[in-house]
């Protein structure tokens, strides 16, 4: 994740997605909730598999679509502090 843009209740996430050795900048809408006990993220968006060199020659009538839907349902909870995560002045 490289950034989050907030416009009212809508949040838009931008970041680098690395698939199959190809890195692309993507942007997608997401529901993000931040609380003391957890951060949750829910999103659904599509990418074009061919943009990431995921190719399947198949046959002309195959049901493999170029657009692939990605669904995120993440929950991050705080863990014990680690020495390597501490800021050094």
Task: Give the model's confidence band at 89: pLDDT under 50 very low, under 70 low, under 90 confident, else very high.
Answer: low
**pLDDT cut 70: percent of the chain above it:** 96
Q: Which has more confidence, 21 or 85?
A: 21
> How is residue 4 written in tokens?
């989050």
State mean pLDDT over 59-78: 86
- Per-residue confidence (pLDDT) for residue 76, from 0 to 100: 92
- Per-residue confidence (pLDDT) for residue 64, from 0 to 100: 79
- Per-residue confidence (pLDDT) for residue 61, from 0 to 100: 67
The per-residue pLDDT of the chain, averaged, comes to 89
- How is 22-59 classified by DSSP, letter by letter? EEEEEEEEEEEEE-SS-EEEEEEEEEEGGGGT------
- Per-residue confidence (pLDDT) for residue 65, from 0 to 100: 84
Q: Cα-Cα-Cα-Cα dihedral of 18, 21, 23, 28, to 10°?
A: -40
Q: Could you give the domains of the chain? A: 3-79 (2.40.128.110)
- Per-residue confidence (pLDDT) for residue 81, from 0 to 100: 79
């Amino acid at each position: 994740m490289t950034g989050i843009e907030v416009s009212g209740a809508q949040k838009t996430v931008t970041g680098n997605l690395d698939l199959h050795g190809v890195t692309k900048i993507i942007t997608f809408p997401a529901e993000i909730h931040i609380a003391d006990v957890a951060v949750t993220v829910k999103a659904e968006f599509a990418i074009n598999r061919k943009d990431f060199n995921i190719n399947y020659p198949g046959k002309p009538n195959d049901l493999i679509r170029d657009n692939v839907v990605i669904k995120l349902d993440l929950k991050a909870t705080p863990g014990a502090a680690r020495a390597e995560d501490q800021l050094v002045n």
